[in-house]
Amino acid sequence: MLLYGLLALGIIGLGILYSASNQNLSLFWHQVINFGFAFVVMCAFAQIPVNRYQFLAPWVFGLTLLMLLAVMGAGVVGKGAQRWLGFGWLRFQPSEIMKLAMPMMLAWYLRDKVFPLHIKDLFFSCIIIILPVLMIAKQPDLGTALLVATTGFFVLLLAGITWQIMVSGIGLVMVV
């Protein structure tokens, strides 16, 4: 059922793009190809067992942090920001990978912790969230930084942290 919902949303989006672009067929077909490629990649990733993701989470997170550091030093500037890494014909934003890597890493870290969290575990969880958020905000890409921070906070909420602790932590960050 979820698969049908995703297909329906994709088709509706393609229809809206076609309508909004004054029936520009080249733009439409380019997006159809992108959608098809993304759908195939999604189906391929759905076949990977969960324990593989658990194994890969710290590696993907660490590699993505290194790529975010590389963006600061040797990133490609475009549209007024230094957000991209370029390898020949391939240009991509490591911050896009971090949207998945950070919640995976946080879930990996919290997977065997006792709740309520000890202050040490809560502190390290916040470091896992704050480090990439600051690196992404420096690019500057505030929207992606806020999205990464929000996903991290929701992982903490789903892990059992209370709203009181969450609001106190956010207040502390705002004061600092």
- Let me know whether 126 and 102 are in one domain: yes
C-alpha to C-alpha distance for 56 and 104, rounded to whole angstroms:
9
- Let me know whether 80 and 7 are in one domain: no
- Let me know whether 81 and 41 are in one domain: no
- Let me know whether 33 and 75 are in one domain: no
- Let me know whether 25 and 40 are in one domain: yes
Choose the final residue of a domain: 14, 30, 47: 47
Tokens 């380019």 sit at which residue? 30
Choose the final residue of a domain: 9, 31, 47: 47
**In b/e form, how buried is each residue of 103-124, taking b as 16+ CB within 10 angstroms?**
bbbbebbbeeeeeebeeebbee
The SS3 call for residue 74 is helix
Strand partners, 85: 92
Structure tokens at 91: 């240009």
pLDDT at 100: 93
- Let me know whether 120 and 131 are in one domain: yes
- Let me know whether 29 and 65 are in one domain: no
- Let me know whether 114 and 142 are in one domain: yes
pLDDT at 12: 93
Question: Tens of pLDDT along 27-82?
Answer: 889 999 999 999 899 999 889 998 898 999 999 999 999 999 988 877 667 666 76
- Let me know whether 94 and 158 are in one domain: yes
- Let me know whether 104 and 168 are in one domain: yes
pLDDT at 82: 67
Domain count across the chain: 2
Closest-CA residue to 96 (of 67, 72, 75): 67
Torsional sign, CA 32, 33, 36, 37: negative
Question: Tens of pLDDT along 135-175?
Answer: 999 888 889 999 999 999 899 888 888 778 778 777 777 77
pLDDT at 176: 65
Q: What is the CA radius of gyration of the chain?
A: 19
Please indicate whether residue 109 or residue 170 has the higher confidence score (pLDDT): 109
- Which range marks the domain in which residue 88 is found? 50-175
- Let me know whether 102 and 129 are in one domain: yes
Question: Tens of pLDDT along 6-28?
Answer: 889 999 998 898 888 888 888 88
- Let me know whether 71 and 147 are in one domain: yes
Closest-CA residue to 28 (of 41, 38, 13): 13
